[in-house]
Structure 1
């Protein structure tokens, strides 16, 4: 059941759990995430990143999600993730996405506010929720969402308070030490910064870079206001490695068999994190 993301996050904030947001890129990943949602009977977010427009257009993503989820009564949102283009955001809204993320985190603060205001005006008029980001994540190993020269910039609690007040966004992605991709060393998750943001801001928070983050750190973040956690890299790494192992076992697989494997491997990781977050 496709819904606006805002009520999902508000329920998670009230009951102190987190909604998993899982990136998709093709039929198999969409099918895998939807099957996991159905089997776990737990709300989640199907996320499609702007950079994957080279794989599929937003209309195809919406149509596939809509078709594959017809018999599912568990609520979930379809979210455009990490989008820097206003035009692509508007295309996703027209296509039927129920949530969008405008990522102006690399822009000057005032420009990020100005562009986010434009997105909020259009999205809220169409009953679509808006996520925005302050601060920036460093790029870890096997990152597909960042660049090697990306610098960690922690979210300023004071700027977050002002940003949310002006823009009226529905969710704020914060930078507190997670990375895009897998960690190169021991994670240093700054829950102390998250607590300071929580003192000033009264909306759901989003944690990008969930892959590889220790479970106890995830639970600590959830206890302090994180209501949505994004997982991308681990889905890809696990699935690719499992398929590599299958191809090396000497059997002569048909491509249709590989497709079914991919769906199952995606389900493995999505189900794992749904259980952790809830």
Structure 2
């Protein structure tokens, strides 16, 4: 199947949310404030096995997905984007599931510009380490560049902890949460297509114990005119993810959960057969473990029990 654009997948998720049944009272939102089960999951690709597992998991769940390659993953591949992008795009095109290719957490202007022509329909430009004014200026420039080339741009406002070895941050830590009024001004000033917000999740969590600030999610959804993105979703329990999507989160990013499944399966195989030297022997169960994880997240975000 040809690559689908991220913008199309997100728009379809928003449209599905608009036609979904009204939210239950337990979700703490009204029918006109909620966003239903219209989520789309974006999974991080590090190796070819990751890409294959994401495609297989999407086929198994019968749902679309986004394959995203981060700047850190590009660094792992020697700073060269073309090979991992081409391999990931080839896997996506060979799949029966609707899949898009996204470049994630890009801080380098050089890497941003490399997305053009490599099959990426979207980029998350990350200027969140800068102060507000510098973030706005850098992001607006990235948006202008992307829109001139038909590339959908996501950005981040607030501080989602856990990146590059940083400690996780709580939803209520001072200066961490995304302020709704500031988010509205930020979207207006930058022209971004989607906004990643800080509501209590954290990158690189290996246990699923994060508690989200659902009141803030609702306030952001009511205020912000573009789709909201939840980073660090690997550490968020299923029930919290369902509630977040019901309240208005649209794009749900998952990375560490795949690595946990991959490494756990490979470690178990090698512990049982320490003389194994053929990587196919342990990569096959590792890939299958990731496939199951992908399918499970897709079903959760799709509102399945």
Contact 2:234/2:257 (CA < 8 Å) preserved in 1?
yes
Following TM superposition, by how much is the alpha carbon of 1:256 offset from its aligned partner in structure 2, in angstroms?
2.0
Alignment of 1:55-94 (within 5 A): 55-56=76-77, 57-94=80-117
Quote the Cα distance in structure 1 between the aligned partners of 2:216 and 2:86.
40
Q: Indicate whether 1:21 and 2:56 are aligned.
A: no
Following TM superposition, by how much is the alpha carbon of 1:149 offset from its aligned partner in structure 2, in angstroms?
4.8
Residue of structure 2 in register with 1:142 after alignment: none
Q: 1:182 aligns with which of 180, 200, 205?
A: 205
User: What SS does the aligned partner of 1:172 have?
Assistant: strand
How does the TM-score come out when normalised to structure 2?
0.84
> Structure 1 residues 151, 217: closer, same or farther in 2, change over 3 A?
closer
Contact 1:207/1:229 (CA < 8 Å) preserved in 2?
yes
Contact 1:13/1:225 (CA < 8 Å) preserved in 2?
no
Following TM superposition, by how much is the alpha carbon of 1:184 offset from its aligned partner in structure 2, in angstroms?
7.1
Q: 1:192 aligns with which of 211, 215, 219?
A: 215
Q: Indicate whether 1:10 and 2:11 are aligned.
A: yes
Residue of structure 2 in register with 1:264 after alignment: 288
Following TM superposition, by how much is the alpha carbon of 1:151 offset from its aligned partner in structure 2, in angstroms?
4.9
Unaligned runs of 5+ in 2: 18-37, 171-175
**Cα shift readout 1:57-108 (whole Å, capped 9, x = no counterpart):** 3211221123223333432221111111111111122322111001111111
Unaligned runs of 5+ in 1: 140-144
Quote the Cα distance in structure 1 between the aligned partners of 2:5 and 2:13.
14
CA RMSD across the alignment: 1.9
Between 145-154 and 94-103, the greater mean CA deviation after superposition:
145-154
Contact 2:208/2:236 (CA < 8 Å) preserved in 1?
no
How does the TM-score come out when normalised to structure 1?
0.92
Contact 1:13/1:226 (CA < 8 Å) preserved in 2?
no
**Cα shift readout 1:104-133 (whole Å, capped 9, x = no counterpart):** 111111111111111111211221111000
User: What SS does the aligned partner of 1:66 have?
Assistant: helix
Q: 1:273 aligns with which of 279, 283, 297?
A: 297
Alignment of 1:189-228 (within 5 A): 189-228=212-251
Following TM superposition, by how much is the alpha carbon of 1:35 offset from its aligned partner in structure 2, in angstroms?
1.6
Moved over 6 A (4+): none
Q: 2:133 aligns with which of 110, 113, 116?
A: 110
Contact 1:26/1:55 (CA < 8 Å) preserved in 2?
no
Quote the Cα distance in structure 2 between the aligned partners of 1:137 and 1:71.
34
Quote the Cα distance in structure 2 between the aligned partners of 1:183 and 1:55.
20
Contact 1:37/1:43 (CA < 8 Å) preserved in 2?
yes
> Structure 1 residues 186, 262: closer, same or farther in 2, change over 3 A?
closer
